[in-house]
């Protein structure tokens, strides 16, 4: 694979909670689960620390453990990262650091892939339109709260209160069997990821995008997925993110495109096969 990647934090000077990395035969993209300020997590390390270590461990497993399925590689990486926390972190806390995950690797004559959460994997197929995989851990019980958040003014006390309520609700349900699954401290989450294989001969390229980057199509409608893949191929991931940022700034109050955050961490990775 020939890989290009780009990432940009939500705000200048703020540490991104996304992580993207690749080798010639594998790629990973993680989108850390953000928490409201002063929201207790039981962990002294924080989300950026967690996503970097989980991402590095996962990339290592993808490249050196061909005998393990891609879901097993994620489970192994979760266990290894949990061990790094040490005894001072409460990994049973519902807000322990967690992340959405996209991963893919060349496995023989196929590309093996995994997606867990609302980040996306886009397969640029030689025959037919792009195939989009992901956003597979929705939380229907929280959808009303999300819509209420989007209807409020960014930065207002009302939005902060609703966001806090939503954060409590989703964290109480995730990884319990009654809500979404996410890569946190339990390897069980890996078994709920969407996985599969596609033959390399059927692919031109593959892209991975955090939800902050997938806004280009999913939220802002700047083009179709075919248009997005063409942009990635011709101008690269940095240009896609630049267009997302320009659109966000043109709608700073989230009126034209309602959304939970005016800006979000954005990461995109494009790999030619």
Are 205 and 236 a contacting pair, CB within 8 Å?
A: no
* Mean pLDDT score of the chain: 93
Q: Which whole-number Å values give the CA distances from 170 to 94, 155, 200, 210, in the listed order?
A: 9, 21, 37, 19
Determine, yes or no, domain membership for 256: yes
Residue ranges making up the domain that contains 234: 2-138+179-272
Phi then psi dihedrals of residue 126, to 5 deg: -70, -30
Is the pLDDT at 75 greater than 80, yes or no?
yes
* Interval 179-193 mean pLDDT: 95
pLDDT per residue over 79-94, tens digit each? 999 999 988 898 888 8
Determine, yes or no, domain membership for 144: no
CATH of the domain at 249: 3.60.40.10
Q: Is 42 left (phi over 0), alpha (psi -120 to 50) or beta?
A: left
43-52, 56-65, 146-155, range with the lowest pLDDT: 146-155
Top-confidence residue, 57 or 166? 57
Number of domains the chain contains? 1
- The structure tokens listed for 97 are 């650091």
pLDDT per residue over 110-122, tens digit each? 999 999 999 999 9
Are 211 and 264 a contacting pair, CB within 8 Å?
A: yes
Determine, yes or no, domain membership for 154: no
pLDDT per residue over 193-248, tens digit each? 999 999 999 999 999 999 999 999 999 999 999 999 999 999 999 999 999 999 99
Determine, yes or no, domain membership for 157: no
Are 161 and 236 a contacting pair, CB within 8 Å?
A: no
pLDDT per residue over 129-169, tens digit each? 999 999 888 787 788 888 888 888 888 889 888 888 888 88
Determine, yes or no, domain membership for 147: no
Determine, yes or no, domain membership for 121: yes
Determine, yes or no, domain membership for 149: no
Say how far apart CA 75 and CA 192 lie, in whole Å.
Answer: 11
- The structure tokens listed for 184 are 């946190």
Share of the chain above pLDDT 90, in %: 71
Closest by CA position to 95, among listed 146, 37, 44, 35: 35
Determine, yes or no, domain membership for 78: yes
5-14, 41-50, 135-144, range with the lowest pLDDT: 135-144
Sequence-distant (6+) residues with CB within 8 A of 31 are 17, 18, 51, 99, 100, 117, 118, 119, 210, 211, 212, 265, 267
């Amino acid at each position: 694979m020939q890989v290009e990647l780009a990432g940009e934090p939500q705000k200048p000077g703020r540490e991104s909670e996304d992580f993207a990395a690749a080798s010639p035969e594998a790629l990973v993209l993680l989108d850390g689960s953000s928490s409201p300020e002063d929201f207790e997590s039981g962990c002294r390390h924080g989300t950026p620390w967690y996503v970097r270590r989980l991402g590095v461990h996962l990339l290592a497993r993808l490249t050196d453990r061909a005998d393990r399925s891609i879901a097993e590689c994620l489970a192994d990486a979760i266990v290894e990262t949990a061990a790094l926390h040490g005894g001072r972190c409460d990994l049973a806390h519902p807000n322990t650091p967690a992340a959405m995950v996209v991963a893919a690797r060349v496995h023989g004559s196929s590309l093996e892939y995994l997606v867990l959460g609302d980040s996306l994997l886009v397969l640029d197929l030689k025959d037919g339109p792009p195939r989009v995989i992901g956003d597979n851990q929705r939380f229907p019980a929280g959808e009303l709260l999300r819509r209420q958040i989007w209807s409020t003014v960014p930065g207002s006390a009302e939005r902060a209160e609703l966001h806090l309520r939503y954060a409590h609700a989703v964290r109480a349900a995730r990884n319990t069997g009654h809500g979404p699954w996410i890569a946190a401290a339990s390897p069980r989450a890996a078994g709920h990821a969407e996985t599969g294989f596609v033959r390399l001969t059927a692919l031109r390229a593959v892209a991975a995008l955090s939800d902050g980057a997938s806004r280009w199509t999913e939220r802002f409608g700047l083009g179709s997925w075919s248009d997005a893949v063409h942009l990635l191929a011709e101008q690269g991931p940095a240009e896609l993110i630049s267009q997302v940022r320009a659109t966000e700034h043109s709608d700073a109050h989230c009126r034209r495109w309602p959304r939970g955050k005016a800006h979000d961490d954005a990461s995109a990775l494009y790999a030619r096969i």
